[in-house]
Amino acid sequence: PKTDIVFLKVHKSASSTVMNILFRFGEMHNLTFAFPQGGGFQLYYPHHFLAKFVQGFSPLSPRQFNILCHHMRFLQPEVQKVVPSSAVYFSILRNPVQLMESSFVYYKGASAFSRVRSLQEFLSQPWRYYDPASGDRHYARNLMTFDFGFNPDGDVSPERVQLMLKAIEASFDFLLISEYFDESMVLLKEMLCWDLDSVVSFPLNSRDSSTKSPLPDSVVEKLKAWNRLDWEIYTHFNRTFWERLDRLIGRERLRREVRALRQRRAELARACLQGTGSVGPKDIKDSSLRPLQHGGARILGYNLKQGLPRELERTCRRLVTPELQYSSLLYKKQFPPPPP
């Protein structure tokens, strides 16, 4: 199994769920994580990543870590300073239309969104609300492009787009697609030589459907045009994702593996969870399992069954621990505070 991993955590793309998978694997195999200085949750995002943002890194005795997966704006020469050269690089993408709809609700306080009532209103005159010079502009345009380290207001000529796609291909071993999450997990398992249980997960940081609204076609077209660079990245890597699956696994085996993954997830849900699945923030009984609430979104979580055997309780708890709590726990384990 591969143990040196760089995961570019792209916003609002099921990346918290992938992060949980990496946290669990790393914890189980005693791997080290490249944590933000002081145990924060982002590597000085939205600045481009620098090695010095990592706790325990020093240029004099450069220390390397197994897993880099916290939010960052990608800059490969700096990333290479903190992980072994054998590291596998991957990320996950989401359809830019749904991504922007999610971003609008989640980052409602961002300067581009704060003065409009709806996404439709923003898209009717985006340049009236969007300022390319503002520090939080990336939440409102080409968010994936930005996370990969490129200019979200960049040129959309075919030549520039090709250069960007080639640069991503040169840096990353593979990209997953959040709309095909289970197929993505089968690919992840294959690429990292992991077992099934390592890639089973429950959806984390997902939104209550009451805050989701379907978008009219006219808005969808405007969204694609406004996020043109993201759309180019998504369509290109959605295609290569399926090409890779066909080449490595084939549709028949893919169907079998997806079925096995879903059966295992259902089994764990029956063993671990109270009720049928996720619940609203107010209904989460254990406050240590309550995810951070942000913007206008209602982020769902889980309740565990009471009285589980110790080993199973531990497995179940790890599956449903939200990102911030899990990150803090692993940070304290890797950098224990000095005894009083």
- In the numeric block, which tokens belong to residue 300? 């769902």
- In the numeric block, which tokens belong to residue 145? 């492009």
Residue 227 has pLDDT above 90, yes or no: yes
Mean pLDDT in residue range 250-262: 98
DSSP for 46-68, written as a single string: TSBP-GGGBTT--SSS----SEE
Residue 211 has pLDDT above 80, yes or no: no
Closest CA to 2 of 191, 164, 207: 191
In terms of CATH architecture, what is 5-334?
3-Layer(aba) Sandwich (3.40)
Alpha carbon distance 202, 18 (integer Å)? 10
Closest CA to 181 of 164, 204, 147: 204
DSSP 205: S
| pLDDT at residue number 246 | 98
Q: Can you state the percent helix, strand and coil of the chain, rounding each to 5?
A: 50, 10, 40
pTM of the model: 0.95
Q: Where are the alpha helices (DSSP H) in 107-227?
A: 119-124, 126-129, 143-147, 158-171, 181-192, 196-199, 217-226
- In the numeric block, which tokens belong to residue 35? 């944590």
Q: What is the pLDDT of residues 286-312, one digit of tens each?
A: 989 998 887 677 889 999 999 999 999
Closest CA to 295 of 90, 12, 2, 3: 12
DSSP for 111-126, written as a single string: TTTTT-SSHHHHHHSH
Burial class (CB within 10 angstroms; exposed 0-12, middle 13-18, buried 19+) of 94: buried
- In the numeric block, which tokens belong to residue 189? 């398992």
Give the H or E element holding residue 5.
Answer: strand 5-8
Mean pLDDT in residue range 3-27: 96
Alpha carbon distance 320, 291 (integer Å)? 10
Mean pLDDT in residue range 118-124: 94
Apex 99 CA angle, 49 and 187, nearest 5: 75
The pLDDT-based confidence of 70 (bands split at 50, 70, 90) is very high
Report the Cα 56 to chain-centroid distance in Å. Answer: 24
Report the Cα 116 to chain-centroid distance in Å. Answer: 27
Report the Cα 27 to chain-centroid distance in Å. Answer: 18
Q: What is the percent of the chain where pLDDT is above 70?
A: 99
Q: At a CB cut-off of 8 Å and minimum separation 6, what does 246 contact?
A: none
Alpha carbon distance 229, 149 (integer Å)? 12
| pLDDT at residue number 62 | 85
Residue 87 has pLDDT above 90, yes or no: yes
The domain ranges of the chain are 5-334
With contact defined as beta carbons under 8 Å apart, do 300 and 278 qualify? yes
Which 3 state secondary structure label does DSSP give 240?
helix
Exposure string over 131-150, b if 16+ CB within 10 A, otherwise e? eeeeeebbbbbbbbbbbbbb
